Amino acid sequence: MNLRRDYETTFIVNAALEDADIESVISKVTGYIENHGGQINEIHRWGRRRLAYPINKKYNGYYVNIVYEATASTIPILERFMVLEDTVLRHLSLILPKKLSEFRVKRAIERGGTVHDALSGKPFDKERTGEYKDKVRKSTKSWLNQEYIEDPPVKTEN
C-alpha cells in the first residue's frame, strides 16, 4: 500500500561552496525527491550559520529545510543519497504531523499571509512580520516581569 505522507527534511550543506554550487545541491535533492514520486510543498533556505560543533572540520553550514509529500519507500532512498553526497554534512528526515502543518497555515494567516503563502514558503511582508514580532516581544516581556509572591509550601517534620 502506497500511503503518501507529509515529510520534512532538514540538511546542512558545506558553506564553503559557492552559492551556485549550493543551489545545485538543493536542486539535486529536490529532483531526487520528485524522481522517486515525491511532491515538494515548501523549500526554506535558512542560509549560512555557524555550527554548534565542528562537523568534518567544518565550522559553518548552509541550512535548508524541505517539506514534501512522498511514500514511505522514498525516505530510505533519499537518506542513502544524502549519506553518499559529499557536500551534505548532516541531514534529518521527519514525518510532519497534520496538526503542525495546520498550525503553520494558521500562523501564516495571523501574520497577514495567505494559505498559499504558507504552503509555498513565500516570505511575508516585512512590516506585518515586524508588528507580529513586537506583539510577541511585549507578551513575553509582560510574562517575564510577573513576580510570584507566594512561596511554595514547605514540609516540616514533627
- In order along its 158 residues, the chain shows pLDDT tens digits of 578 889 999 999 999 999 999 999 999 999 999 999 899 988 999 999 999 999 999 999 999 999 999 998 999 999 999 999 999 999 999 998 888 878 877 887 887 766 666 555 555 554 444 554 555 445 444 444 444 444 455 666 75
Q: What one-letter code names the amino acid at 110?
A: E
Class of the domain covering 4-96 = alpha beta
Q: What is the CA radius of gyration of the chain?
A: 21
Give the start-to-end residue ranges of the domains of the chain: 4-96, 103-144
Asked if 104 contacts 67 with a C-beta cutoff of 8 angstroms, the reply is: no
